[in-house]
Chains A and B, each alone.
Chain A
Amino acid sequence: MDEKGINSGPLHGLWAVTNRELKKWYKEPFIFIISLVQPIIWIGLFGKAMNLGEIFSAGSLNIPGLDLPKQIIDSLSQEILKSTFGTTNYFSFLAVGMLSFIVLFSAMSSGMTIVWDRRLGFLNKMLTTPLSRGNVIMGKVLSSVIKALVQAVIVLLIAVLLGLTFSAQFTVFSLAITFFALFLLAMGLSSLFIMLAIRSTRWETQMAIMNLLNLPLLFASNAFYPVKFMPYWLKPIVMVNPLTYANNVARAMLIGVTPTASVAFSVLYLVGFAAIFSFIGIFLSWKYISS
């Protein structure tokens, strides 16, 4: 059946779909830059303005009547920070949390592209070609993952410029593990949001879903603060949130915070998350992408 020069393998067109999305992105540097502004603002506001290190130092902490030596207050506050965040540097703690933040926000918008493609008829156009239905979805997921990771790299570079200090054990290997975890997170989240958009024809619905989920997903994780001081009812939610595990891995690898769940378990959890959601995504797209 196959003509010469025709590739009808199961993966044909996957890169074409992916690259189409990426082109729209890197050809519009304005959108690209805007998408980076948000996490940088958060790094600035939470990491620098809310300067926990300074708040707990001898300069601002003094108990009248008790003439405690400066040295004691200082070491006390260092201990408090250390036992709370696992590091004395809250800025580093937060900056690493911002990596999963940027991945989340980037992955969320992936659902929008499929809504637009449906509305403008491009999706139908794709579906009348021999392109596999699975590739329509995987191309979108893949482009979203690539975008998310590039943004994470830039956020990390900015955080380093602003004073993120790596742990003594930091190596290229730690960086690789971190980005592997972020890759899995991006993969699972993108699949999830594309899945939610698969039959949608209204971008308003998609926006509403994004707005409903973004902040809860972010705050019900350990991106800003550690899990151990959270109320009992929140903990189970935080412990299923994949963001928590990505943060665990990133913090352990980059700044040496001892994680609540081991790095190995966290990576496994993320592998499962990514595998299950991308599988369901492809499955649903076969079934429901057209009527």
Chain B
Amino acid sequence: MTDSIIKVVGLTKIYNHTVLAVDHISFEVNRGEIFGLLGPNGAGKSTTIGMLNTLLKPTEGTALIDGIDVTKEPSNVRKIIGVVPQEYTADEDLTGWENVMLIADFYGISRDISRQRAKELLEMVGLTEASKRKVETYSGGMRRRLELAMGLINKPKVLFLDEPTLGLDVQTRTAIWEHIRKLKSEYNMTILVTTHYLEEADEFCDRIAIIDRGKIVKADTPENLKKGVGGDIITIQLTKDGKDVDQALKGIQGVTEVKNNGDGLITLKVIDGGAVAPAIIKAFTQMNLNVTRLTLARPTMDEVYMTYTGRNLREEQATSEETFTMRRTMRTARS
């Protein structure tokens, strides 16, 4: 039996009695798991996280974090969760160290413990040197790492990460994910993360829930999600046009879809391509057709995403990065 630490039952949020942002979603997250929420802008990811971290009151339904009800005992939930929001929330006028200590005070952690922890956390995210400087001098990556340290000061059982790598360069993104992985392996921390980057979700999440229009359309391991799209894609090049092969191909165990334009290029959707490929070649040999090339492609998260939401996430990335830039500009305007 798996031990679930987050249990969401029929969670619903309606804004201003009209806008249905999250529509009766239910899911469970296992202890020690990195669970990804994937979905287009406005799908309800941030609203879901907001309800789980007690910032928003659910209109209907509820959620249990380690057995504590977010609607009935929000203040007890707050003690065991850590939140790293999408925005950079650190106070720019204070130093990195002061920011971490400030959050520690919000949790009521006594000074001797919090000093030790703040030191360790800043060390872990590589900000020991910079921690004496004001946050306004930090780069985007440094700010994000500081947010991570701030979110971990209470040693949370569950960490919520909302778009932790948004707007960062590839190198920094990888570094952030390395930290997240370390948390999982060293502290058995459960991490609920939203992300726009499909390849990140694929690589780092144990399970992914695809959320669209306020509903979870699919939740599974990245592996199963990709399998579920219809498996792998095999492309075959023949020397002849091969018009009458469809029937024979469909008869092969594991082939789910055949696309044949009659020009010698055949595309197949198959389950477990590696195992099916030899049978396909054998079938062509029996039909006296020469295969000149066979390529096997595994489906990417892009295809998974496309299949379940009918949208291409990459087109949407631009807009979210624009929003991000706007936020930064505003922040600069302030100082």
Q: State the CA gap A129–B153 with chains docked (Å).
A: 11
The list of the 3 closest CB pairs from A to B, nearest first, reads A16-B105, A121-B87, A7-B108
Which residues of B pack against A, CB within 8 Å?
15, 53-57, 75-76, 78-79, 81, 83, 85-91, 93-94, 98, 102-103, 105-110, 112-113, 150, 154, 330-331, 334
CB distance from A150 to the nearest CB of B (A): 18
A122 B108 Cβ-Cβ under 8 A = no
In A97-139, the 8 Å CB interface with B consists of: 116, 119-122, 124-132
CB distance from B148 to the nearest CB of A (A): 13
**B residues near A124, Cβ cutoff 8 Å:** 55, 85, 89
Q: A120-B331, A130-B75 are contacts. A13–B108 as well, Cβ < 8 Å?
A: yes
B334 A16 Cβ-Cβ under 8 A = no
Q: Which of B75, B86, B102 contacts A16 (CB 8 A)?
A: B102
Q: State the CA gap A120–B99 with chains docked (Å).
A: 14
Q: State the CA gap A291–B13 with chains docked (Å).
A: 11
Q: Which of A5, A17, A130 contacts B78 (CB 8 A)?
A: A130
**A residues near B112, Cβ cutoff 8 Å:** 5
Q: State the CA gap A24–B136 with chains docked (Å).
A: 13
Q: State the CA gap A131–B108 with chains docked (Å).
A: 8
Q: State the CA gap A116–B89 with chains docked (Å).
A: 11
CB distance from B194 to the nearest CB of A (A): 15
Closest B residue to A125 by CB, please name it.
Answer: B89
**A residues near B106, Cβ cutoff 8 Å:** 13, 16-17, 126, 129-131
Please name 10 further chain A to chain B contacts, defined as beta carbons within 8 Å, in addition to the given A5-B112, A121-B89, A129-B103, sorted by A numbering: A5-B113, A6-B109, A7-B109, A20-B91, A116-B334, A122-B91, A126-B106, A128-B83, A290-B57, A291-B15
**A residues near B54, Cβ cutoff 8 Å:** 127-128
**A residues near B105, Cβ cutoff 8 Å:** 12-13, 15-16
Q: Which of A12, A20, A116, A120 contacts B108 (CB 8 A)?
A: A12
> Looking at chain A's contact residues, is the secondary structure mostly helix, strand, loop, or mixed?
loop
Q: Is A9 an interface residue (CB 8 A)?
A: yes
Closest A residue to B56 by CB, please name it.
Answer: A291
A20 B55 Cβ-Cβ under 8 A = no
CB distance from A205 to the nearest CB of B (A): 16
Q: State the CA gap A120–B334 with chains docked (Å).
A: 10
**22 pairs, CB–CB < 8 Å, chain A vs chain B:** A1-B79, A5-B110, A5-B113, A6-B107, A6-B109, A7-B108, A12-B105, A13-B108, A16-B106, A20-B102, A23-B93, A23-B94, A120-B334, A124-B89, A125-B89, A127-B55, A129-B106, A129-B154, A130-B108, A131-B107, A290-B57, A291-B57
**B residues near A129, Cβ cutoff 8 Å:** 78, 103, 106-107, 154
B93 A27 Cβ-Cβ under 8 A = yes
A130 B107 Cβ-Cβ under 8 A = yes
A122 B109 Cβ-Cβ under 8 A = no
B103 A7 Cβ-Cβ under 8 A = no
CB distance from B164 to the nearest CB of A (A): 14
Q: State the CA gap A120–B83 with chains docked (Å).
A: 15
Q: State the CA gap A131–B79 with chains docked (Å).
A: 9
**A residues near B102, Cβ cutoff 8 Å:** 16, 20
Q: State the CA gap A13–B105 with chains docked (Å).
A: 5
